[in-house]
Structure 1
Amino acid sequence: MKIVICAVPYSPNLGDGVIYENIKQLLLERVPGAQVSALDIAGRDDYVKAGISKKSLVNKVPKLLRPYAVCTYFSLQYLLRWRRKWLAQLADADLIVVGGGQLLLDVHLNFPVKLFLLSKAVKAAGKSGKVAVFGVGVSKSMSSAGTGLIKRTWQNLAPLQASTRDIASAQNLKLILAQPLEIKVTPDPGIYSQHTFAAFLPPRTTGNVLGICISSPLELNQAGVEKQDYSARIGKYFQELAQQATTLGYRVHLFTNGSPEDEAFKDALAAGLDPEIVNLPRPGVPSQLVANIGQCDCIIAHRLHANIVAYALDIPSIGLNWDSKVQSFFELTGRGRFFMQAPVPDVTRTFKLLYQALQVDGSGEKVRLTQQLTTEIAALLERSGLAGKTSAPEPNQAGRAAAAAA
């Protein structure tokens, strides 16, 4: 039995890898022996050291020309490199899972083009109708060209089941497709991280470690909503946060989710801080990101999956505002009061909120959401006809097993 998970699992932002590893784990627990593989719709083949981000290259193109540049680049990549490889991977797939993550997002047509190209490969491989769209995030804002591409993508995929990771995304997807759909809401697979990454988690100690997840202002202010001095203001916030934390007795760890822009900003900030503040190296794989967060007793973060992993590990977190998906997650988990609305929060208020978060036990809600997630995975397999099936071992595996038994 073969299942292919299509998203951006090998993105330098390792939150996407966390999603992939959790979906894979959830599937393998229910269909032992299945061959589960990743198809990265950005053409990556593995977790590799992050280099120059294509975002920075795209931003050098005049704004009006960026969608055309994105379409041209990815269409050529598909025709010259990806199509043959993707068709070979999809040819014998019993199920194709598209998700999770914020895949239905339109920044210069980036994801609409990638998803459309994937759908062409799915259709060419004869796998339309053997697709589940699972736990995706859907942006409210979508260009007319992006909307057209998503509609054509949906026709090519002909999903047998669809779910989003929050209510707002479900509503946005219905608006984009402009058709009646049964869309379920499934908690982000990242909440299963305590199970998936159990072997990589450090022993829990009460060391009063505060993890501050640093994010680049270039990423946080993609839409250009904030003023030009936003970079200086958010940088000052992070520095004052770290300095005051040490004064309050915290041991501070600076970390990122892996984005090269975030890493560069973190290193620049760390250079101006006390040496006792730990600047963690970039995590190379999702398990390292989870382990970095697992060292902390509490965290403060903009990045969605830093907050989700912390939640999965029962580590209190404060969510910082930059995208509605972060607020949606805090509301979904019944922790909306620990999300800070201000684009650049007040440092003193941040610590007051952190103190309150440390007093709250949210494990009961996590149990309910985890049950909801596992139920949705089971329903997906039932709908696809794979529930309860196991894959026979390959001949060489069977031979080795027999030899070992003898």
Structure 2
Amino acid sequence: MKVLVFCEADGKNLGDAAIFQGLESLLHGNDLTKMMLGLPIKSSVLHTSGTTKGRSVFAFLKRYTLFYTTVTLLRLLAVKSLNLKSTIRNIKKNDIVIVGGGSLLINNNYVFPLSLSLITLLCKIYKKKYIILGCSTRPIDSSIAKSCIKYHVSNAAHIYMRDNLSINILKDYFNIREVSFIPDLALFNSIDIHNRDGNNIKEGRKVAINIMGRTTHGAFSKKNNIQKYKSAISETISFLVSKQYSVSLFTTGEDGDEELMLELAKATGLNSLHPKSTYALFDFIDGNDVIVSTRLHAGIISIARCKGVVPIIWDSKVKGFFESIQYDGQSIDLTDIDFSTIYTGIVNASPLKLNIDSYRKEIIDVIKK
């Protein structure tokens, strides 16, 4: 069967790349074509990571919702028009369309909402069914973005969200009754490891700490949270080294995380990795026993690779995922983080075994129908 997938797998976030690879594993034997849901990174004329002046202009424009939305729509159409023919051609030639997975049902400056509306319209025109698969959402303040996403979710043939929080939001905010659960698609990058040496980590085992840098929004946009996080990680490293643990640092490929990782690596003398591919990330995780994860997909991939995980909870999507898979290990809230809670989590960490075969069969049956 031919399947068209709208996703973010071609971006710099290796978590999104791992999601698509998991989907390829889930739908093994089917012919998959992928297309970017949002805008290519270099295409953004309102790119905000440059000068202070540029960020000020961006902030000014956002105050005027209608004008900002119009500019974003024009930008989106300008980029999408370059590949509109290929989008239409792919929708027409494929048997079914999948949107997912990841945090796609959100308002990221109107780009995803407007893109989702366009996909919905084209699927209706060419009479193609689409499935929302392995996605998450959050409450949306903008009435325009909310209307776009409601239009998209209301016309989907099937909806599978990756956490219970997102399921409840679709039901409460968008009045969508038929919503099912599927774990994050990156979990389908799983391997089988037999005869592991016990369940708990022991002194001398390998621990890798996933580092997340400052962001433009959320908990990691606040200076005091970043400082508390850095202090806790630094103290944890010192304590683990004193206890003869082998410790290393890594990111999941986001450029914004590399700076803090290198700063910590230089201060502590630890080895570090800023992977450029999912294969490098998988190999690195496979070489460790316990992963202290900050980025969501550092934890998800580690679970898929049969590693003990100590997740740092800094966002509702992270909390929602680990609650949805009934994670029974120790998680650490960012507001309560310190080296003692991290160390306790490391000592008690053990691989979490998930039965994902039932989800595989269900999704394949849905697509066939």
TM-score interval (norm. to shorter):
0.7 to 0.9
Partner of 1:117: 118
1:192 equivalent in structure 2: 188
Q: Which residue pairs with 2:18 in the alignment?
A: 18
CA deviations on 1:144-179 (whole Å, 9 max, x unpaired) are 121111123345xx322111111111111123323x
Return the match for 1:245 from 220, 240, 249: 240
8 A Cα contact 1:192 1:312, kept in partner: yes
Counterpart Cα distance in 1 of 2:352 and 2:102: 23
Shift of 1:336: 4.7
C-alpha distance in 1 between matches for 2:172 and 2:267: 47
Residue in 2 that maps onto 1:107: 108
> Which residue among 347, 362, 370 is the counterpart of 2:352?
362
Give matches, 1:281-292, under 5 Å: 282-292=274-284
1:304–1:237 Cα change, 3 Å: same
Pick aligned residue for 1:273 from 268, 275, 287: 268
Aligned partners of 1:152, 1:294: CA distance in 2, in Å? 42
Q: Is the alpha carbon distance of 1:212 and 1:132 closer, same or farther for their aligned partners in structure 2, counting shifts above 3 Å?
A: same
* Whole-angstrom CA distance in 2 between matches of 1:284 and 1:118: 30
Aligned counterpart in structure 2 of residue 260 of structure 1, from 247, 255, 263: 255
The change in CA–CA distance for 1:297 and 1:60 in structure 2 (over 3 A counts) is farther
Q: Contact 2:218 / 2:315 at 8 angstroms: preserved in 1?
A: no
Note the C-alpha offset of 1:376: 2.7
| Aligned residue number for residue 217 of structure 1 | 214
Written as runs of structure 1 = structure 2, the 5 A alignment for 1:199-210 is 208-210=205-207
Match of residue 399 from structure 1: none
CA distance 1:241–1:74, shift in 2 (3 Å) = farther
Q: Is the 8 A contact 2:140 2:146 kept in 1?
A: no
For 1:172, which of 166, 169, 173 is the aligned residue?
Answer: 169
The aligned counterpart of 1:402 is: none
Structure 1 residue 231, shift from structure 2 partner: 2.9
Q: Structure 1 residues 186-195 or 64-73, which shifts more?
A: 64-73
Asked whether 1:162 is paired with 2:159, we answer: yes
Is contact 1:138–1:169 with CA below 8 Å preserved after alignment?
Answer: yes
Gaps of 5+ in 1: 384-406
Which residue number corresponds to residue 302 of structure 1?
294
Distance 1:83 1:12 in 2: 23
Aligned to 1:313: 305
**Does the 8 Å contact 1:319/1:327 carry over to 2?**
no
Aligned to 1:183: 179
Match of 1:91 in 2: 92
Provide the residue aligned with 1:333 in structure 2.
Answer: 325
AA aligned opposite 2:352: G
CA RMSD of aligned residues (A): 2.9
Partners of 1:348 and 1:101 in 2: how far apart? 32
Range 61-70 or range 103-112, more displaced: 61-70
What stretches of structure 2 of length at least 5 have no aligned partner? none
Residue range with higher mean Cα deviation, 56-65 or 98-107: 56-65
Opposite residue 65 of structure 1, the aligned amino acid is: L
CA-to-aligned-CA distance 1:123-163 (integer Å, 9 cap, x gap):
45x144x21111211113442121111123345xx322111
TM-score for both structures, normalised by structure 2: 0.85
Whole-Å separation in 2 of the counterparts to 1:127 and 1:260 = 40
1:186-222 per-position Cα deviation (integer Å, ceiling 9, x unaligned) = 1112222124xx8xx9xx9996111111111225xx1
| Alpha carbons 1:132, 1:159 under 8 Å: kept | yes
* Change beyond 3 A, Cα 1:337–1:140: farther
Q: List aligned pairs for 1:141-156, cutoff 5 A.
A: 141-154=140-153
Change (3 A) 1:64 1:225: farther
Where 1:56 maps in the other structure, the secondary structure is: coil
Q: Distance in 1 between matches of 2:95 and 2:121?
A: 17
For 2:144 and 2:95, the matched residues in 1 are separated by 31
Task: Write out per-residue CA displacement over residues 97-116 of structure 1, whole angstroms, 9 at most, x where no aligned residue.
Answer: 11111111223323212322
Give the letter aligned to residue 294 of structure 1.
D
Letter in 2 for 1:186: I
TM-score (norm 1): 0.78
* Counterpart Cα distance in 1 of 2:22 and 2:139: 26
Tell me, what secondary structure is at the counterpart of 1:218?
A: coil
